[in-house]
Amino acid sequence: MKKTSHFNEIVDDSRGLWLSGLFSAVVGWNPDNSFYENKDIFFLIVEELLNEKVIKFCSPDDPLGKVIPYWNADNKVVVNFLKQHWPENANAEEDDELNFYFYEMPALLWVDEKGEYIGS
């Protein structure tokens, strides 16, 4: 798969941050895009990072990873879950529904230099 424009910069700026930080980095590196274009880029990057094993998510059954360290599901299942819960009426980065979405989704875990997944 061809990498998204500014992929490395977006990842560098959002590494270790919550899911909202990743979306903000997409917006920051693509200021001329519409909200919906950035949404599509966001999901492409999430899928690329999952495929490259750079990120994982906690399970929806244990969104903070207190019992289950990370969600052991196919990457497409994870991305579809995130897409299905995206607020239909959100149309701007500052939208309250979008902010609630980011806090309600399972925690984002980033791989560290030891190969372990940690949250922010």
Domain spans of the chain, in order of start: 7-119
Instruction: Tell me the fold of 7-119.
Output: NMB0513-like (1.10.3510)
Confidence band (pLDDT; 50, 70, 90) for 91?
A: very high
**For the sheet containing 108-111, what is the strand order?**
55-57, 108-111, 117-119
Beta-strand runs (E) in 14-114: 55-57, 108-111
Question: Which pTM does this prediction carry?
Answer: 0.93
Separation of alpha carbons 115 and 94, rounded Å: 34
Distance CA 57, CA 78 (A): 8
Percent of the chain with pLDDT over 90: 88
Burial 64-83 (b: 16+ CB within 10 A, else e): ebeeeebbeeebeebbeebe
* Longest distance between any two alpha carbons in the chain, whole Å: 42
For helices 7-14 and 19-29, angle between their N-to-C axes, nearest 10 degrees:
140
> What's the mean pLDDT in 95-106?
96
- pLDDT at 80 (0 to 100): 98
Reported as a single tens digit per residue, the pLDDT across 70-86 is: 999 999 999 999 999 99
Provide, rounded to the nearest whole percent, the portion of the chain with pLDDT above 70. Answer: 98
- The closest of 99, 105, 6, 96 to 119, measured between CA atoms, is 105
Q: How confident is the model at residue 5 (pLDDT cuts 50, 70, 90)?
A: confident
At residue 90, φ and ψ (nearest 5 deg) are -65, 135
pLDDT digits (tens, 9 = 90+) for 31-66: 999 999 999 999 999 999 999 999 999 999 998 888
